[in-house]
Amino acid sequence: MNLRALLYFDELVRTSSMRAAAENLNVAPTAVSRQIENLEEYFGAQLVERTNRGIRLTAAGRLLAERAGKTLRELDHVHQLIEDLKGLQGGKVVLYANGATVANVIAPVLADFSLRHPRLRFEVTISSAREAIEALAAGEADIAVTLFAPPLAGVKVRLSSEVAYDVILSRQHPLSKAKEISLTELMELPLALPDRGFAARQTIDDLFDREKLAPDPLFVTSSLDMLKELVLRGAAVTLLPELSVRREVEAGLLSAVPVAEGKAIRTAIDLCVSPDRQLTAAAKALVEFIESYMGIPNTHR
């Protein structure tokens, strides 16, 4: 058995088509078929069945697909570790981020980091916390950044930073220069909030419930970009971490005002890595840069 056979099989599993796999690998379909036959001879079992709709994995094929994918990812990881001996001259960091809010926090971090290390490449997937952790466990991700995540087994929390949700207003708003805004005052303002599918919205509702307040938001949306646009245009105010609108704040377009009396929503952003997988130089440098960029109290574990 050779590495090429595993690579061809992995691509076939991904595409479920001999022709599509061959096109992606830039070889003839017969070359893919031949390598699959070599694998079947090596393992002494049929791995794929051909159907009118493409190929279907047998039980043995499914078993190999799971192990082969992980093996190839580990080999790619080892290759990156070897490249690390040359310094941060190349490589790729695969990052999973939990939710749109985290994405808006991570995007400026990645932008600044990339400008400092232009030869590095980044692959970012926005997912649920569970999907992010599963990607770490499967060796598909180097780093997972999660918000509002429950305690997660099988991962190492490299950095946990607490963030507060501030009242985000247009710089033209009369309260934009206020030192703080109470929840009662917030009730009198046109609110734009994320929909109830977001953990942040559930936490916002809990905050108001504890104060026996019942907000009636003017806008409810699943789009963080829309929340920001509504605030930029002066149509509403919202609750977001200042980090997620830092660019607009620095540009003088938005203001972030703390919630009064220490009643802001506070949550941890956890930066997670695999406990048994060595970070590449690129991933390690990014982790340290995120810590420095966020500039807020953190804990290493």
- Is-above-0.75 flag for pTM? no
pLDDT digits (tens, 9 = 90+) for 5-57: 877 888 888 888 888 888 888 888 888 888 888 888 888 888 888 877 778 88
pLDDT digits (tens, 9 = 90+) for 192-204: 998 887 778 888 8
pLDDT band at 301 (very low <50, low <70, confident <90, very high): very low
- Res 294: pLDDT: 61
CATH number at residue 239: 3.40.190.290
pLDDT digits (tens, 9 = 90+) for 123-175: 999 887 788 888 887 778 888 888 766 666 678 887 777 778 999 999 999 99
CA distance 129 to 135: 10
Query: Residue 262 pLDDT > 90, yes or no?
Result: no
The whole domain housing 272 covers 92-161+267-299
Residues 167 and 260 reside in one and the same domain: yes
Residues 154 and 281 reside in one and the same domain: yes
Residues 191 and 257 reside in one and the same domain: yes
Residues 252 and 199 reside in one and the same domain: yes
Residues 80 and 7 reside in one and the same domain: yes
Are 10 and 69 within 8 A, CB to CB? yes
CA distance 198 to 100: 9
Range name among 54-63, 110-119, 149-158, 240-249 with the lowest pLDDT average: 149-158
